[in-house]
Amino acid sequence: MKFNKKIAFGAWINDIKNILMGNSNWPDVNIDDQTIKDYASLFKLLKESGYDSIDIFGLLVGHDWPPELETVLKNGRKEKVTKIIDSAHKNGIDVIFGLGIYSWGFDAIIRSDPEVQGTNESAMCGSKEKSKKWQERVIKLIIDNFDIDGLHLEASDQGRCSCPECSKEGNVQYYSRLNKEAAIFIRERWPEKYLLVNDCAYLPWGDYISKDEFKYVYDLGKHIDAFIDNGNHGLFIREEDRKEFIKDLPCGFGSSGGFWIYAPQRWDRLRWFLPYVNKTGNFLKSLYSDGGRACEYYMGPTVNPSTEVNIYFGGLLLSNIDKEIGEILRLTLDKLYVPKNSEYLGIITEIFIDAENAFFDNWKPSIKPFELPEKFAGDVETLRFWSEKTPERTIPGELFLEPLVGLKPGEPIYLKNNMSEEGLRRYKTELEKISERVNKIKTGFDDSGRISRISECISNTIKDINQILS
Ligand SMILES: [Zn+2]
């Protein structure tokens, strides 16, 4: 038993990068030799663990398509992107182009063209014919120039236009319509392309798509392959309604892993150690049993040993969803760590499970949105709307380790925001015990340095905890 679509989700182009990228603001969409090299090794791992596709945002732009659209291909960008796509294909991995619809990429166009301006400087007005034309030109440029296998359409992440005309539609209707129009444009011309819509930020964090509004998503579903209820800031299909929702949905349904770390762009790659295989494993099993068959599983830098295991585990589990989580974890560790005997395999498996529990046993996930000091808020204060009615549901699917935006390595908000002082002390004690166990088994593997990297990650996490406690 397996998922039909097992997508590795970038999400942004450099999130997978194995070296610190310096202090450029997020999202850094520069492609250098390291980016290309890290993708080449990632694709091998994806293939081996069972993924079939990669979904990447920022292949061409971050915030700004240039109004002279074709110039985006210049200065070697077309060649670099082609290299990444070819490298994926060589490993049998399909490439899904992450594409903002009316937003994520249109800031410069909005500034330069009054005919698409509405109330949001990062989202074109959804009621103007010219906006549609710009969107279509962008899609055509991408498909004409690159051998991509599909597109990820996302209209909602940066909010919407609320001019009098656009305001006639509620959020679910509005975003579904914009995604649908783009999907129809693509389907009519390039019917072979895989199309997914991701509902990231369709609604305020904590809210649900009501049953009365299912019809808008069903209508969209006639024109795409999968609807992804991402869950980074709330799942929008109420979990108790999910089975019923999926039954009548004309396309596939999926989600991300239920819980994941969003790769911290300005952090040293060995600054955290947080496996989450039980957390995500249980979520994916429940999604599958409700009928979900697609997954966009978040990536990160595989040089971090917890990230690497989370990713490899994800691919194996999506390919063997009926197998036990513990068994999949053992298979993962056997493959990556090459233990000298089964006793070592047992110990390393326990270490990963214990490290996961050490964090989650002390983590209080619900955020009090309006009480968060701004400097600890990551992107959540500035980029998200909060549910007024159910703030207790603001539990991160996507965990930020540092604030998303900024120009220097940010504070460890994942420890500061959601752990009490006692929780931090307990987490530190558990990590110290784990670190001692790791030191004792160093010679038991042919692990290419992974065990030492675990030690370094734990030691760096303890440094962060000490900093907060001091
Ligand atoms: Zn408008």
> Would you kindly state where each structural domain of the chain is located, as residue ranges?
5-322, 358-385+394-469
Tally Cβ neighbours within 10 Å of residue 446: 9
Class of domain 5-322: alpha beta
Q: Say how many Å lie between the CA of residue 25 and the centre of ligand 1.
A: 29
Q: Say how many Å lie between the CA of residue 381 and the centre of ligand 1.
A: 24
Q: How far is CA 181 from CA 136, 151, 152, 257, in A?
A: 10, 14, 14, 28
Q: Say how many Å lie between the CA of residue 176 and the centre of ligand 1.
A: 15
Q: Say how many Å lie between the CA of residue 164 and the centre of ligand 1.
A: 7
Cα 126 from Cα 161, distance rounded (Å) = 7
Among 91, 20, 81, CA closest to 268: 20
pLDDT over threshold 60, residue 382: no
Question: Residue 371: pLDDT band by 50, 70, 90 thresholds?
Answer: low
Question: Residue 373: pLDDT band by 50, 70, 90 thresholds?
Answer: low
Q: Say how many Å lie between the CA of residue 116 and the centre of ligand 1.
A: 8
Angle between helices 277-289 and 325-337 (to 10 degrees): 130
Query: Is residue 74 left, alpha or beta, with left meaning phi > 0 and alpha meaning psi from -120 to 50?
Result: beta
Q: Say how many Å lie between the CA of residue 170 and the centre of ligand 1.
A: 12
Q: Say how many Å lie between the CA of residue 360 and the centre of ligand 1.
A: 43
**Residue in this structure with the two tokens 């060995």, named with its chain if needed:** 270
Q: Say how many Å lie between the CA of residue 151 and the centre of ligand 1.
A: 25
Q: Say how many Å lie between the CA of residue 125 and the centre of ligand 1.
A: 4
pLDDT over threshold 90, residue 404: no
Q: Say how many Å lie between the CA of residue 250 and the centre of ligand 1.
A: 29
Beta-bridge mates of residue 262: 400
Cα 431 from Cα 357, distance rounded (Å) = 10
Q: How far is CA 242 from CA 235, 246, 260, 343, 359, in A?
A: 10, 6, 21, 41, 29
pLDDT of residue 417: 81
Residue 389 structure tokens: 């009615």
Query: Is residue 297 left, alpha or beta, with left meaning phi > 0 and alpha meaning psi from -120 to 50?
Result: beta
Q: Say how many Å lie between the CA of residue 162 and the centre of ligand 1.
A: 5
Residue 244 structure tokens: 């019923």
Q: Say how many Å lie between the CA of residue 119 and the centre of ligand 1.
A: 7
pLDDT over threshold 80, residue 4: yes
pLDDT of residue 377: 52
Q: Say how many Å lie between the CA of residue 128 and the centre of ligand 1.
A: 7
pLDDT in tens, 238-259: 999 999 999 999 999 999 999 9
Question: Residue 100: pLDDT band by 50, 70, 90 thresholds?
Answer: very high
Question: Residue 384: pLDDT band by 50, 70, 90 thresholds?
Answer: low
pLDDT of residue 206: 85
Q: Say how many Å lie between the CA of residue 110 and the centre of ligand 1.
A: 12
pLDDT of residue 421: 94
Length reported for the chain: 470
Would you say 38 and 87 are in contact if contact means Cβ atoms under 8 Å apart? no
Beta-bridge mates of residue 414: none
pLDDT over threshold 60, residue 19: yes
pLDDT of residue 388: 72
Which range has highest mean pLDDT (202-216, 336-350, 403-417)? 336-350
Q: Say how many Å lie between the CA of residue 232 and the centre of ligand 1.
A: 26
pLDDT greater at residue 368 or residue 46: 46
Question: Residue 234: pLDDT band by 50, 70, 90 thresholds?
Answer: confident
pLDDT of residue 389: 76
Q: Say how many Å lie between the CA of residue 173 and the centre of ligand 1.
A: 14
Q: What is the pTM of this model?
A: 0.96
Q: Say how many Å lie between the CA of residue 276 and the centre of ligand 1.
A: 41
Beta-bridge mates of residue 97: 56, 151
3-state secondary structure 251-310: CEEEECCCCEEECCCCCCCCCCCCCCHHHHHHHHHHHHHCCCCEEEEECCCCCCHHHHHH
pLDDT over threshold 70, residue 369: no
- Counting Cβ atoms within 10 Å, is residue 39 exposed (0-12), middle (13-18) or buried (19+)? buried
Q: Say how many Å lie between the CA of residue 196 and the centre of ligand 1.
A: 24
- pLDDT above 90: percentage of residues in the chain: 87
- Among 162-171, 252-261, 408-417, whose mean pLDDT is lowest? 408-417
Q: Say how many Å lie between the CA of residue 156 and the centre of ligand 1.
A: 14
**Residue in this structure with the two tokens 């990297």, named with its chain if needed:** 453
Q: Say how many Å lie between the CA of residue 228 and the centre of ligand 1.
A: 25
Q: Say how many Å lie between the CA of residue 167 and the centre of ligand 1.
A: 7
Q: Say how many Å lie between the CA of residue 234 and the centre of ligand 1.
A: 26
DSSP string, 323-364: S-HHHHHHHHHHHHH-BSSHHHHHHHHHHHHHHHHHHHTT--
Q: Average model confidence (pLDDT) for the chain?
A: 94
Among 133, 122, 209, CA closest to 157: 122
Task: Work out the average pLDDT over 159-181.
Answer: 97
Q: Say how many Å lie between the CA of residue 174 and the centre of ligand 1.
A: 10
pLDDT in tens, 201-219: 999 888 999 999 999 999 9
- pLDDT above 70: percentage of residues in the chain: 96
Q: Say how many Å lie between the CA of residue 143 and the centre of ligand 1.
A: 27
pLDDT in tens, 261-281: 999 999 999 999 999 999 999
Q: 208 by DSSP, 3-state: which?
A: coil
Q: Say how many Å lie between the CA of residue 26 and the centre of ligand 1.
A: 27
pLDDT of residue 406: 85
Q: Say how many Å lie between the CA of residue 299 and the centre of ligand 1.
A: 34
Cα 102 from Cα 110, distance rounded (Å) = 10
Q: Say how many Å lie between the CA of residue 384 and the centre of ligand 1.
A: 20
